Amino acid sequence: MKKCIRIVFLAVICFNFLASGSSGEEKKSGKEEKKFVIGFSQATTTEPWRLLFNKELREEAAKHPEIELIVRDGMDDVAKQVADVEGFIRMKVHAILITPKVAEGLTPVVNKAFDSGIPVIVLDRDLTNDRYTQFIGGDNKLIGRAAGEYAVKWLGGPGKAKGNVVEIWGGSASSPAQDRHNGFHEIIDKEPGIKMLTKPNDGDWKQDKSYEIMADALDENPKIDLVYAHNDPMAYGAYLAAKDMEREKGTAFLGIDGIPAEGVKWVYEGTLTATFLYKTPGDEGIRQALRLLKGESLGKRVILPTMTIDKTNAEQILRTNGIIK
């Protein structure tokens, strides 16, 4: 009996050994496949645009089994985002992708990563210098100009445009907000009939902050003809403030981003007058990082396309994206 127990015991040990050996192999080869560790530092995840950005980035990475992706959310906090990038440097990741919340506060840590030999691809918001590998994003000056041209046309056309305009800024320390402002003013400042009602303000890209800015503007000004907000959530926040005061009629609301489930839908529903596509850069970021990690050299800037979205094409975009049937 004792002998029998010993045999069974030995058989179990043998089985476990073989089984653990084979699963060990699997793990090993699984690990070996993940050749490239990419750290992605996102500025925030509060807006739908950023969630779409993250989703596309993750989906693109999932197509490539050789990539191990680590995502960190900076939670709209510069110190947290700096710490996230410091963490990637300590981990010696193979590449860093980053959307810096603001230029000034994030430039030193990105430069530090780059100087330590880690390639860095900057997405959407730029830094104060170009000590990084590549930038991918939309042309925000061009988008600002397109919004300016739309505003001028809406208010009567070049040379004849007339009206009171409220501009609601995104995070004023970020490059998209500055470029969207400058591009817009390049066009509208040529129009003597256009009056800017607000001084530079900072809506930090947030719908609720924009609501407050617009509520104050409405209190102070009996007539507002057009609102230019640096993104769709803020254009929508401004619309809600006007609606709550029963003053939304006769005012045009322009936003930027143009993601189907948000800005395009608001245009289709008649809440926003127009939005300007600001393509999310996550999928392109992964594709470029992979090219680099496989030994290709990258161009310094990849500029993503834009388009104007208003009532002439919003419905078609929603159909193409399966948002309406």
Residue of the chain from 205, 239, 268, 276 that contacts ligand FRU (CB under 6 A):
205
Stretch that binds ligand FRU, among 11-19, 159-167, 168-176, 268-276 (CB under 6 A): 168-176
Q: Quote the CA–CA distance of 61 and 151 in Å, as a whole number.
A: 39
Under the criterion CB under 6 A, does residue 44 sit at the interface with ligand FRU? Answer: yes
Stretch that binds ligand FRU, among 25-33, 141-149, 169-177, 286-294 (CB under 6 A): 169-177
Under the criterion CB under 6 A, does residue 50 sit at the interface with ligand FRU? Answer: yes
Nearer to ligand FRU, 50 or 209 (CB): 50
Under the criterion CB under 6 A, does residue 179 sit at the interface with ligand FRU? Answer: no
Task: Point out the residue whose Cβ comes nearest to ligand FRU.
Answer: 205
Nearer to ligand FRU, 164 or 201 (CB): 201
Residue of the chain from 47, 126, 262, 283 that contacts ligand FRU (CB under 6 A):
47
Residue of the chain from 231, 271, 273, 275 that contacts ligand FRU (CB under 6 A):
231
Nearer to ligand FRU, 176 or 260 (CB): 176
Extended strands (E) in the chain: 36-42, 67-73, 95-98, 120-123, 134-138, 163-168, 194-196, 226-229, 252-257, 274-277, 301-304, 308-309
Q: Are 48 and 262 in contact (CB under 8 A)?
A: yes
Stretch that binds ligand FRU, among 10-18, 170-178, 294-302, 306-314 (CB under 6 A): 170-178
- Residue 195 CA, distance from chain mean position: 31
Q: Quote the CA–CA distance of 111 and 91 in Å, as a whole number.
A: 16
Tokens 């030995």 found at = 10
Nearer to ligand FRU, 37 or 173 (CB): 173
Question: By rule CB under 6 A, what string of x and - marks binding of each residue 51-90 to ligand FRU?
Answer: ----------------------------------------
Q: Are 210 and 229 in contact (CB under 8 A)?
A: yes
Instruction: Tell me the β-bridge partners of 228.
Output: 167, 254
Under the criterion CB under 6 A, does residue 125 sit at the interface with ligand FRU? Answer: yes
Question: By rule CB under 6 A, what string of x and - marks binding of each residue 272-311 to ligand FRU?
Answer: ------x---------------------------------
Under the criterion CB under 6 A, does residue 49 sit at the interface with ligand FRU? Answer: yes
> From residue 198, how far is each of 16, 49, 100, 214 by CA, in Å?
73, 26, 27, 9
Residues 6+ apart with CB under 8 A from 186: 141, 144, 145, 148
Nearer to ligand FRU, 50 or 265 (CB): 50
Query: Could you tell me the maximum CA-CA distance found in the chain, to the nearest angstrom?
Result: 105
Stretch that binds ligand FRU, among 14-22, 43-51, 150-158, 285-293 (CB under 6 A): 43-51
Tokens 């530092």 found at = 41
The CB-of-106 to ligand FRU minimum distance in angstroms stands at 13
- Residue 321 CA, distance from chain mean position: 19
For the beta carbon of residue 255, count every other beta carbon within 10 angstroms.
Answer: 33
Which residues make up the interface to ligand FRU (CB under 6 A)? 44, 47, 49-50, 124-125, 170, 174, 176, 205, 231, 256-257, 278
